[in-house]
Amino acid sequence: MDREDYDSRVRDMISAGPYEEFTFKNGKPKDPLNRMVEEVNHVRKKVANLMGEDRLERKFHVPNPTVASLYCLPKIHKNPVGMRPISSNIRTPTEKMAAWLVEEMRKYPVKHGKSVKNSVDLVEQLEGFKLRRGEILVSFDVAALFPSVPATEALQSLRRHLERCRVPLNHIEAYLSVAKVCMNQNFFNFRGKYYKQTFGLSMGSKLSPLLADLFMSDLENEAQKQKLFPRVWWRYVDDVFAPVKERYVDQTLSMLNSQHETIKFTVEKEVDGKLPFLDLMISRNEDNTLKFGIYRKPTSTDRYITSDSNHFGAQKQAAFHSMAHRLYNVPLDSVEFKEEQNRIYAAAENAPSKNVMNPLL
């Protein structure tokens, strides 16, 4: 994909999406940065007072701030190829406030939903699981989760979560003030023009995963009241693993899609007793227990950051550490274990570096 094709696809995506161009009356691009900084300065003072910590006002200061920049990642595994918009929030006026709020929320983990941290956590949750007669393995996927979550309702979910955790009222007000200004400043620039996202959560904001998880946790709690809600439901961000009676798959999908007007699910059924989910291949044994294997998309090239790349050593090692962790924590049979081990070694040899030559040690 050359630059001209890339720009054309991005502009088409902007035109079709919940975005509006930010301009003066004469149509010239209008830089929203000064307005953004003023809003953030007001919130900085307010939050510092509510939290009783004067240092926060200084901590939230971003020197030489800028408007977020938009870039898109081609979804090459889709047909036709789509574009995934990412709004880089580095050095935006709200960058440090968003990071602070995410860190604060670690004190109040979400416990009322049905989400898992990663595929290893999913395997642990499914220990001892057994399919019942007539059930098949399915995965439900929320189409374009972040852009589909209403920011106002996500903020309401955050408030309810904090109230359940019995957070002091002044702290709740401070947290919500930060979340609101971060969500309201959904501006970005692309090729010299400024745009504002008018609906949904921004992909690129540190807060979006947190707010989306809270919103989906509330939605799941409501959906559980329905008779067709699966007896087992584990979600990672926008992907859900569930066993469903085969004859009720379509009805279950319709039930899920009726829970909220902007949240729409798609479904994928097992094929030949196998279902790819996250980076796992989940299959059924003859006794209806589950077997786990490693799954990679057909577009995977097994190429990772090489030793001559200008990255930190930890970044070069990260992919191999992750693969090694998965290898030893997903219950593979001896043949699959050896195959995966050899594949990791081969990938390391294609990215030669003294830091990754022994990724399994």
Burial 76-109 (b: 16+ CB within 10 A, else e): eeeeeeebebbbebeebbbbbbbebbeeebeebe
Q: Which two tokens stand for residue 186?
A: 């959904």
Residue 190 neighbours by CB under 8 Å, 6+ apart: 10, 14, 69, 70
Nearest to 30 by CA among 195, 190, 184: 195
Q: What type of residue sits at position 30? A: K
- pLDDT tens, position by position, for the chain (361 residues)? 789 999 999 999 999 989 999 998 888 899 999 999 999 999 999 999 999 999 999 999 999 999 999 999 888 766 677 788 999 999 999 999 999 999 999 999 988 888 999 999 999 999 999 999 999 999 999 999 999 999 999 999 999 999 999 999 999 999 999 999 999 999 999 999 999 999 999 988 999 999 999 999 999 999 999 999 999 999 999 999 999 999 999 999 999 999 999 999 999 999 999 999 999 999 999 999 999 999 998 888 888 888 888 889 899 899 999 999 999 999 999 999 999 999 999 998 876 544 444 545 4
Residue 332 neighbours by CB under 8 Å, 6+ apart: 292, 293, 294, 340
Inter-residue contact 208 to 202 (CB < 8 Å):
yes
For residue 21, the 8-state DSSP code is E
Residue 28 CA to residue 12 CA, distance in Å, equals: 20
